Protein backbone atom coordinates (compact mmCIF):
# COMPACT_ATOMS: atom_id res chain seq x y z
CA UNK A 1 0.00 0.00 0.00
CA UNK A 2 2.59 2.47 1.14
CA UNK A 3 4.74 1.11 -1.63
CA UNK A 4 2.05 1.74 -4.20
CA UNK A 5 1.72 5.25 -2.86
CA UNK A 6 5.44 5.75 -3.28
CA UNK A 7 5.28 4.48 -6.83
CA UNK A 8 2.42 6.80 -7.58
CA UNK A 9 4.21 9.73 -6.04
CA UNK A 10 7.26 9.03 -8.15
CA UNK A 11 5.16 8.75 -11.31
CA UNK A 12 3.60 12.12 -10.61
CA UNK A 13 7.01 13.74 -10.59
CA UNK A 14 7.95 12.29 -13.96
CA UNK A 15 8.78 14.71 -16.74
CA UNK A 16 9.12 13.71 -20.37
CA UNK A 17 10.31 16.39 -22.75
CA UNK A 18 8.77 16.34 -26.21
CA UNK A 19 10.66 17.58 -29.26
CA UNK A 20 9.26 20.41 -31.33
CA UNK A 21 10.24 18.67 -34.56
CA UNK A 22 8.10 15.61 -33.84
CA UNK A 23 5.04 17.81 -34.35
CA UNK A 24 6.17 18.71 -37.86
CA UNK A 25 6.52 16.56 -40.94
CA UNK A 26 9.24 13.96 -41.20
CA UNK A 27 10.03 11.05 -43.41
CA UNK A 28 12.69 8.89 -44.97
CA UNK A 29 15.02 9.66 -47.85
CA UNK A 30 12.32 8.14 -50.05
CA UNK A 31 9.41 10.37 -49.12
CA UNK A 32 8.05 12.80 -46.57
CA UNK A 33 4.32 12.29 -46.30
CA UNK A 34 2.81 15.61 -45.29
CA UNK A 35 -0.03 15.51 -42.76
CA UNK A 36 -2.91 17.92 -42.52
CA UNK A 37 -2.89 20.22 -39.52
CA UNK A 38 0.83 20.16 -38.97
CA UNK A 39 2.26 23.32 -37.35
CA UNK A 40 3.62 26.04 -39.57
CA UNK A 41 5.91 27.68 -37.04
CA UNK A 42 7.44 27.18 -33.58
CA UNK A 43 4.49 28.81 -31.89
CA UNK A 44 2.09 26.26 -33.32
CA UNK A 45 4.46 23.47 -32.34
CA UNK A 46 4.27 24.70 -28.77
CA UNK A 47 0.50 24.76 -29.02
CA UNK A 48 0.55 21.07 -29.90
CA UNK A 49 3.09 20.25 -27.24
CA UNK A 50 0.92 21.98 -24.69
CA UNK A 51 -1.90 19.64 -25.62
CA UNK A 52 0.33 16.65 -24.95
CA UNK A 53 1.13 18.03 -21.53
CA UNK A 54 -2.51 18.91 -20.88
CA UNK A 55 -3.61 15.34 -21.45
CA UNK A 56 -0.68 13.45 -19.98
CA UNK A 57 0.35 15.76 -17.17
CA UNK A 58 4.00 14.73 -17.49
CA UNK A 59 5.29 16.53 -20.59
CA UNK A 60 5.98 20.01 -19.22
CA UNK A 61 8.86 21.00 -21.50
CA UNK A 62 9.54 21.18 -25.21
CA UNK A 63 12.91 20.84 -26.89
CA UNK A 64 13.73 23.29 -29.66
CA UNK A 65 15.87 22.68 -32.72
CA UNK A 66 17.85 25.53 -34.20
CA UNK A 67 17.45 26.68 -36.97
CA UNK A 68 14.13 24.88 -37.44
CA UNK A 69 12.72 26.80 -34.48
CA UNK A 70 14.58 30.03 -34.96
CA UNK A 71 12.42 33.05 -34.14
CA UNK A 72 13.01 36.73 -33.85
CA UNK A 73 11.99 36.95 -30.23
CA UNK A 74 12.71 34.00 -27.93
CA UNK A 75 11.19 35.82 -24.99
CA UNK A 76 7.92 35.95 -26.85
CA UNK A 77 8.25 32.30 -27.71
CA UNK A 78 8.90 31.41 -24.08
CA UNK A 79 5.94 33.49 -22.99
CA UNK A 80 3.76 31.77 -25.58
CA UNK A 81 4.79 28.45 -24.12
CA UNK A 82 4.18 29.41 -20.52
CA UNK A 83 0.78 30.79 -21.30
CA UNK A 84 -0.08 27.32 -22.50
CA UNK A 85 1.40 25.59 -19.49
CA UNK A 86 4.71 24.40 -20.88
CA UNK A 87 8.29 25.60 -20.93
CA UNK A 88 11.12 25.54 -23.38
CA UNK A 89 13.55 22.74 -22.71
CA UNK A 90 16.80 21.71 -24.35
CA UNK A 91 18.22 23.52 -27.33
CA UNK A 92 19.24 21.17 -30.13
CA UNK A 93 21.87 22.30 -32.58
CA UNK A 94 21.91 21.54 -36.28
CA UNK A 95 25.21 21.39 -38.09
CA UNK A 96 24.17 19.09 -40.90
CA UNK A 97 21.90 20.96 -43.27
CA UNK A 98 24.00 23.81 -44.54
CA UNK A 99 25.68 23.12 -47.87
CA UNK A 100 28.98 23.83 -46.16
CA UNK A 101 28.59 20.70 -44.05
CA UNK A 102 28.84 18.16 -46.87
CA UNK A 103 32.05 16.73 -45.36
CA UNK A 104 31.32 17.54 -41.76
CA UNK A 105 30.91 20.46 -39.40
CA UNK A 106 33.07 20.67 -36.27
CA UNK A 107 35.25 17.88 -37.68
CA UNK A 108 35.49 19.29 -41.21
CA UNK A 109 39.01 19.51 -42.65
CA UNK A 110 38.46 23.18 -43.48
CA UNK A 111 38.87 25.52 -40.51
CA UNK A 112 36.38 27.98 -41.99
CA UNK A 113 33.63 25.40 -41.93
CA UNK A 114 34.52 24.45 -38.37
CA UNK A 115 34.33 28.12 -37.41
CA UNK A 116 30.90 28.37 -38.93
CA UNK A 117 29.76 25.30 -37.03
CA UNK A 118 31.16 26.44 -33.70
CA UNK A 119 29.56 29.82 -34.21
CA UNK A 120 26.24 28.09 -34.62
CA UNK A 121 26.79 26.18 -31.39
CA UNK A 122 27.64 29.40 -29.60
CA UNK A 123 24.48 30.94 -31.02
CA UNK A 124 22.59 28.04 -29.49
CA UNK A 125 24.00 28.96 -26.09
CA UNK A 126 22.88 32.52 -26.69
CA UNK A 127 19.41 31.18 -27.32
CA UNK A 128 19.63 29.13 -24.14
CA UNK A 129 20.36 32.33 -22.27
CA UNK A 130 17.27 33.85 -23.83
CA UNK A 131 14.99 30.89 -23.20
CA UNK A 132 16.37 29.85 -19.85
CA UNK A 133 17.20 26.42 -21.26
CA UNK A 134 19.60 24.38 -19.19
CA UNK A 135 20.71 21.86 -21.77
CA UNK A 136 22.53 22.18 -25.06
CA UNK A 137 22.06 18.93 -26.91
CA UNK A 138 24.73 18.21 -29.47
CA UNK A 139 24.34 15.62 -32.14
CA UNK A 140 26.87 15.71 -34.92
CA UNK A 141 26.20 14.17 -38.31
CA UNK A 142 29.95 14.34 -38.87
CA UNK A 143 31.70 11.35 -40.28
CA UNK A 144 32.97 9.90 -43.53
CA UNK A 145 31.54 7.60 -46.17
CA UNK A 146 34.70 6.07 -47.57
CA UNK A 147 37.90 4.67 -46.11
CA UNK A 148 40.58 7.28 -46.41
CA UNK A 149 38.14 10.14 -46.99
CA UNK A 150 39.47 11.95 -43.95
CA UNK A 151 41.79 11.32 -41.06
CA UNK A 152 39.95 9.74 -38.14
CA UNK A 153 42.30 11.03 -35.52
CA UNK A 154 42.55 14.58 -36.81
CA UNK A 155 38.78 14.73 -36.79
CA UNK A 156 38.83 13.79 -33.11
CA UNK A 157 41.28 16.59 -32.45
CA UNK A 158 39.02 19.05 -34.24
CA UNK A 159 36.00 17.77 -32.35
CA UNK A 160 37.76 18.18 -29.03
CA UNK A 161 38.76 21.72 -29.89
CA UNK A 162 35.24 22.71 -30.91
CA UNK A 163 33.66 21.15 -27.85
CA UNK A 164 36.13 22.90 -25.59
CA UNK A 165 35.28 26.29 -27.02
CA UNK A 166 31.57 25.74 -26.60
CA UNK A 167 32.03 24.30 -23.13
CA UNK A 168 33.81 27.46 -22.06
CA UNK A 169 30.84 29.50 -23.17
CA UNK A 170 28.33 27.59 -20.99
CA UNK A 171 26.82 29.37 -18.02
CA UNK A 172 26.99 28.01 -14.51
CA UNK A 173 23.62 26.28 -14.75
CA UNK A 174 24.00 25.09 -18.29
CA UNK A 175 25.05 21.68 -19.51
CA UNK A 176 26.32 20.23 -22.74
CA UNK A 177 24.73 16.88 -23.61
CA UNK A 178 26.76 14.98 -26.15
CA UNK A 179 24.91 12.41 -28.23
CA UNK A 180 26.51 9.46 -29.98
CA UNK A 181 25.26 7.50 -32.96
CA UNK A 182 26.61 4.48 -34.77
CA UNK A 183 25.88 5.59 -38.31
CA UNK A 184 23.63 7.67 -40.55
CA UNK A 185 24.02 9.98 -42.27
CA UNK A 186 27.69 9.01 -42.37
CA UNK A 187 28.25 5.45 -43.53
CA UNK A 188 31.86 4.58 -42.87
CA UNK A 189 32.97 6.45 -39.78
CA UNK A 190 30.92 8.59 -37.46
CA UNK A 191 32.91 10.96 -35.30
CA UNK A 192 30.98 10.19 -32.12
CA UNK A 193 29.85 6.64 -32.82
CA UNK A 194 29.47 5.18 -29.35
CA UNK A 195 29.12 6.00 -25.69
CA UNK A 196 32.81 5.44 -25.11
CA UNK A 197 33.78 8.24 -27.46
CA UNK A 198 31.18 10.61 -26.01
CA UNK A 199 32.28 9.68 -22.50
CA UNK A 200 35.97 10.24 -23.22
CA UNK A 201 35.25 13.73 -24.56
CA UNK A 202 32.90 14.64 -21.71
CA UNK A 203 35.41 13.46 -19.15
CA UNK A 204 38.00 15.90 -20.43
CA UNK A 205 35.56 18.76 -20.77
CA UNK A 206 34.35 18.65 -17.19
CA UNK A 207 31.29 18.26 -15.05
CA UNK A 208 28.94 20.21 -17.25
CA UNK A 209 29.47 17.82 -20.16
CA UNK A 210 27.40 14.67 -20.09
CA UNK A 211 26.42 11.87 -22.39
CA UNK A 212 22.95 11.51 -23.86
CA UNK A 213 21.69 8.08 -24.84
CA UNK A 214 19.47 7.90 -27.92
CA UNK A 215 17.92 4.47 -27.72
CA UNK A 216 18.04 4.05 -31.49
CA UNK A 217 21.72 4.82 -32.01
CA UNK A 218 23.42 1.53 -31.26
CA UNK A 219 24.77 -1.45 -33.14
CA UNK A 220 22.53 -4.52 -33.24
CA UNK A 221 22.78 -6.46 -30.02
CA UNK A 222 24.08 -3.61 -27.90
CA UNK A 223 22.86 -3.83 -24.32
CA UNK A 224 21.61 -0.31 -23.76
CA UNK A 225 20.69 -0.75 -20.11
CA UNK A 226 24.28 -1.74 -19.41
CA UNK A 227 25.41 1.58 -20.86
CA UNK A 228 22.83 3.38 -18.76
CA UNK A 229 24.03 1.64 -15.61
CA UNK A 230 27.65 2.38 -16.47
CA UNK A 231 27.10 6.05 -17.26
CA UNK A 232 25.13 6.54 -14.06
CA UNK A 233 27.91 4.84 -12.11
CA UNK A 234 30.37 7.25 -13.73
CA UNK A 235 28.13 10.24 -13.07
CA UNK A 236 27.97 10.96 -16.77
CA UNK A 237 24.40 10.21 -17.84
CA UNK A 238 22.89 13.48 -18.95
CA UNK A 239 19.71 12.20 -20.49
CA UNK A 240 17.86 10.18 -23.07
CA UNK A 241 16.53 10.62 -26.52
CA UNK A 242 13.78 8.02 -26.44
CA UNK A 243 12.43 6.26 -29.49
CA UNK A 244 12.34 2.67 -30.66
CA UNK A 245 13.71 0.71 -33.54
CA UNK A 246 13.66 -2.72 -35.09
CA UNK A 247 16.63 -2.15 -37.38
CA UNK A 248 18.57 1.09 -37.38
CA UNK A 249 17.63 4.59 -36.23
CA UNK A 250 14.00 3.97 -37.08
CA UNK A 251 12.72 6.67 -34.69
CA UNK A 252 9.48 4.85 -34.00
CA UNK A 253 7.40 5.53 -30.90
CA UNK A 254 9.33 4.62 -27.78
CA UNK A 255 8.24 1.27 -26.40
CA UNK A 256 6.72 0.19 -29.70
CA UNK A 257 9.45 -2.16 -30.84
CA UNK A 258 10.75 -3.66 -27.61
CA UNK A 259 8.80 -2.66 -24.52
CA UNK A 260 10.81 -5.09 -22.40
CA UNK A 261 14.00 -3.28 -23.31
CA UNK A 262 12.46 0.04 -22.34
CA UNK A 263 11.48 -1.45 -19.00
CA UNK A 264 15.01 -2.75 -18.44
CA UNK A 265 16.42 0.66 -19.24
CA UNK A 266 14.03 2.36 -16.83
CA UNK A 267 14.89 -0.22 -14.21
CA UNK A 268 18.57 0.70 -14.46
CA UNK A 269 17.64 4.37 -14.29
CA UNK A 270 15.76 3.78 -11.06
CA UNK A 271 18.42 1.42 -9.72
CA UNK A 272 21.20 3.88 -10.46
CA UNK A 273 19.51 6.88 -8.92
CA UNK A 274 18.83 8.41 -12.31
CA UNK A 275 15.14 9.11 -11.84
CA UNK A 276 15.88 12.74 -11.01
CA UNK A 277 15.75 16.09 -12.79
CA UNK A 278 19.47 15.74 -13.50
CA UNK A 279 18.69 13.15 -16.12
CA UNK A 280 16.65 14.56 -19.01
CA UNK A 281 14.02 12.23 -20.41
CA UNK A 282 13.39 13.41 -23.93
CA UNK A 283 11.59 11.93 -26.88
CA UNK A 284 13.20 12.03 -30.30
CA UNK A 285 10.87 10.39 -32.75
CA UNK A 286 9.53 10.63 -36.27
CA UNK A 287 5.86 10.01 -36.83
CA UNK A 288 6.16 9.48 -40.54
CA UNK A 289 2.91 7.67 -41.15
CA UNK A 290 0.86 7.97 -37.98
CA UNK A 291 -0.97 10.94 -36.51
CA UNK A 292 1.60 12.99 -34.67
CA UNK A 293 0.03 14.35 -31.49
CA UNK A 294 -1.66 11.05 -30.54
CA UNK A 295 1.59 9.24 -31.29
CA UNK A 296 3.43 11.52 -28.91
CA UNK A 297 0.79 11.07 -26.22
CA UNK A 298 1.08 7.34 -26.70
CA UNK A 299 4.87 7.56 -26.44
CA UNK A 300 4.67 9.49 -23.19
CA UNK A 301 2.29 6.85 -21.85
CA UNK A 302 4.66 4.09 -22.93
CA UNK A 303 7.45 5.73 -20.95
CA UNK A 304 5.13 6.01 -17.98
CA UNK A 305 4.18 2.35 -18.14
CA UNK A 306 7.79 1.23 -18.36
CA UNK A 307 8.66 3.49 -15.45
CA UNK A 308 5.79 2.20 -13.37
CA UNK A 309 6.90 -1.37 -13.92
CA UNK A 310 10.48 -0.47 -13.09
CA UNK A 311 9.34 1.16 -9.86
CA UNK A 312 7.35 -1.95 -8.99
CA UNK A 313 10.35 -4.27 -9.00
CA UNK A 314 10.63 -5.75 -5.54
CA UNK A 315 14.13 -4.60 -4.70
CA UNK A 316 14.51 -6.63 -1.55
CA UNK A 317 13.38 -9.88 -3.11
CA UNK A 318 15.62 -9.18 -6.06
CA UNK A 319 18.66 -8.46 -3.96
CA UNK A 320 18.07 -11.62 -1.95
CA UNK A 321 17.77 -13.79 -5.03
CA UNK A 322 20.84 -12.21 -6.58
CA UNK A 323 22.87 -12.69 -3.44
CA UNK A 324 21.77 -16.33 -3.32
CA UNK A 325 22.75 -16.86 -6.95
CA UNK A 326 19.20 -17.97 -7.69
CA UNK A 327 19.09 -17.17 -11.37
CA UNK A 328 15.49 -18.14 -11.96
CA UNK A 329 14.11 -16.41 -8.90
CA UNK A 330 16.00 -13.21 -9.58
CA UNK A 331 14.73 -13.20 -13.14
CA UNK A 332 11.23 -13.99 -11.88
CA UNK A 333 11.22 -10.97 -9.59
CA UNK A 334 11.99 -8.73 -12.53
CA UNK A 335 9.50 -10.45 -14.80
CA UNK A 336 6.76 -10.20 -12.18
CA UNK A 337 7.02 -6.45 -12.32
CA UNK A 338 7.20 -6.44 -16.09
CA UNK A 339 4.21 -8.73 -16.50
CA UNK A 340 2.07 -6.54 -14.28
CA UNK A 341 -0.59 -4.57 -16.07
CA UNK A 342 0.17 -1.09 -14.78
CA UNK A 343 -2.48 0.70 -16.75
CA UNK A 344 -4.99 0.71 -13.88
CA UNK A 345 -2.35 2.20 -11.61
CA UNK A 346 -1.60 4.92 -14.12
CA UNK A 347 -5.25 5.70 -14.50
CA UNK A 348 -5.35 6.29 -10.77
CA UNK A 349 -2.26 8.45 -10.94
CA UNK A 350 -3.86 10.61 -13.59
CA UNK A 351 -7.09 10.97 -11.68
CA UNK A 352 -5.14 12.00 -8.62
CA UNK A 353 -3.33 14.54 -10.78
CA UNK A 354 -6.69 15.91 -11.88
CA UNK A 355 -6.51 14.84 -15.48
CA UNK A 356 -8.47 12.35 -17.54
CA UNK A 357 -7.36 8.76 -16.87
CA UNK A 358 -7.40 8.06 -20.61
CA UNK A 359 -5.19 10.66 -22.30
CA UNK A 360 -5.75 9.48 -25.85
CA UNK A 361 -9.50 9.33 -25.54
CA UNK A 362 -9.53 12.72 -23.88
CA UNK A 363 -7.36 14.20 -26.57
CA UNK A 364 -9.59 12.81 -29.29
CA UNK A 365 -12.67 14.11 -27.52
CA UNK A 366 -11.12 17.55 -27.27
CA UNK A 367 -11.50 18.23 -30.98
CA UNK A 368 -7.97 19.65 -31.18
CA UNK A 369 -7.03 17.36 -34.02
CA UNK A 370 -9.94 18.48 -36.17
CA UNK A 371 -9.41 22.09 -35.22
CA UNK A 372 -5.80 22.28 -36.38
CA UNK A 373 -6.68 20.58 -39.63
CA UNK A 374 -9.32 23.18 -40.21
CA UNK A 375 -7.35 26.18 -39.05
CA UNK A 376 -3.83 25.52 -40.21
CA UNK A 377 -4.45 26.11 -43.86
CA UNK A 378 -1.98 27.95 -46.04
CA UNK A 379 1.54 28.81 -45.03
CA UNK A 380 4.36 26.31 -45.03
CA UNK A 381 4.22 23.20 -42.89
CA UNK A 382 7.09 22.64 -40.51
CA UNK A 383 9.50 19.88 -41.40
CA UNK A 384 13.18 19.06 -41.47
CA UNK A 385 13.83 20.99 -44.61
CA UNK A 386 16.11 18.19 -45.80
Q: Which of residues 279-298 bind its own copies (CB under 8 A)?
A: 288-291, 294-295, 298
Backbone angles phi, psi at 348, to 5 degrees: -65, -45
Residue list 344-373, contact with its own copies (CB under 8 A): 360
- Helices 111-131 and 152-169, axial angle in degrees (round to 10): 30
Q: What angle do CA 16, 351, 342 make, to 5 degrees?
A: 65
d(CA 60, CA 128): 17
Sign of the CA dihedral with 241 first, then 245, 250, and 252 last: negative
The only residue of 194, 348, 352, 358 in contact with its own copies, by rule CB under 8 A: 194
d(CA 201, CA 276): 24
Q: What percentage of the chain's residues is helix, strand, coil (to nearest 5)?
A: 50, 10, 40
What separation in angstroms does the CA of 129 have from each of 85, 106, 169, 249, 278?
A: 20, 22, 11, 31, 19
Residue 100 per-residue DSSP state: G
Q: Which is nearer to its own copies, 15 or 152 (CB)?
A: 152
The only residue of 32, 122, 270, 362 in contact with its own copies, by rule CB under 8 A: 32
Q: Which is nearer to its own copies, 224 or 282 (CB)?
A: 224
Backbone angles phi, psi at 173, to 5 degrees: -100, 10
Q: Which is nearer to its own copies, 174 or 189 (CB)?
A: 189
153 binds its own copies (CB under 8 A): yes
Q: Which is nearer to its own copies, 118 or 262 (CB)?
A: 262
Q: Which is nearer to its own copies, 79 or 102 (CB)?
A: 102
Minimum Å gap between C-beta 355 and its own copies is 19
Q: Which is nearer to its own copies, 199 or 275 (CB)?
A: 199
d(CA 355, CA 365): 14
Q: Which is nearer to its own copies, 72 or 341 (CB)?
A: 341
Residue list 211-250, contact with its own copies (CB under 8 A): 218-223, 225-227, 229-230, 232-234, 245-248, 250
d(CA 183, CA 355): 41
The only residue of 184, 348, 352, 358 in contact with its own copies, by rule CB under 8 A: 184
Residue list 47-66, contact with its own copies (CB under 8 A): none
d(CA 14, CA 372): 28
Minimum Å gap between C-beta 87 and its own copies is 27
Residue list 111-140, contact with its own copies (CB under 8 A): none
31 binds its own copies (CB under 8 A): yes
Minimum Å gap between C-beta 114 and its own copies is 13
Count of residues that interact with its own copies, criterion CB under 8 A: 107
The span of 45-53, 60-68, 148-156, 163-171 binding its own copies (CB under 8 A) equals 148-156
Binding mask 323-342 for its own copies (x = CB under 8 A): x-x-xx-xxxxxx--xxxx-
The only residue of 200, 353, 355, 362 in contact with its own copies, by rule CB under 8 A: 200
148 binds its own copies (CB under 8 A): yes
How many angstroms separate the most distant Cα atoms in the chain?
66
Contact 200, 172 (CB under 8 A): no
The only residue of 141, 166, 212, 224 in contact with its own copies, by rule CB under 8 A: 141
Beta strand spans in the chain (E): 18-19, 61-65, 87-92, 135-138, 143-144, 175-179, 189-190, 209-214, 237-242, 280-283
Q: Of the candidates 75, 63, 84, 69, which has an alpha carbon nearest to the alpha carbon of residue 15?
A: 63
Binding mask 63-82 for its own copies (x = CB under 8 A): --------------------
The span of 9-17, 57-65, 126-134, 257-265 binding its own copies (CB under 8 A) equals 257-265
d(CA 22, CA 30): 18
Residue list 85-114, contact with its own copies (CB under 8 A): 96-97, 99, 101-103, 109-110
Q: Which helix (H) or strand (E) holds 16?
A: none
The span of 69-77, 171-179, 183-191, 367-375 binding its own copies (CB under 8 A) equals 183-191
Amino acid sequence: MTETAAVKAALKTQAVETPSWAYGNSGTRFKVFAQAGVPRDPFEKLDDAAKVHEFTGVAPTVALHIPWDRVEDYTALGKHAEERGVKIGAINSNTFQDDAYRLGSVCHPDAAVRRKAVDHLLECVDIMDATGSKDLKLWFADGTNYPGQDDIRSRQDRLAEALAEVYERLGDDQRMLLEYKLFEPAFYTTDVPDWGTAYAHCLKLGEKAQVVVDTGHHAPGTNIEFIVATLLREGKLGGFDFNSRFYADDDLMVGAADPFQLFRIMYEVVRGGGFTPDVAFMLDQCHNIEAKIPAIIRSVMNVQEATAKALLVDGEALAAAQAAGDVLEANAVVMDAYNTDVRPLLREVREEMGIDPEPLKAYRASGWGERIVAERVGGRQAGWGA
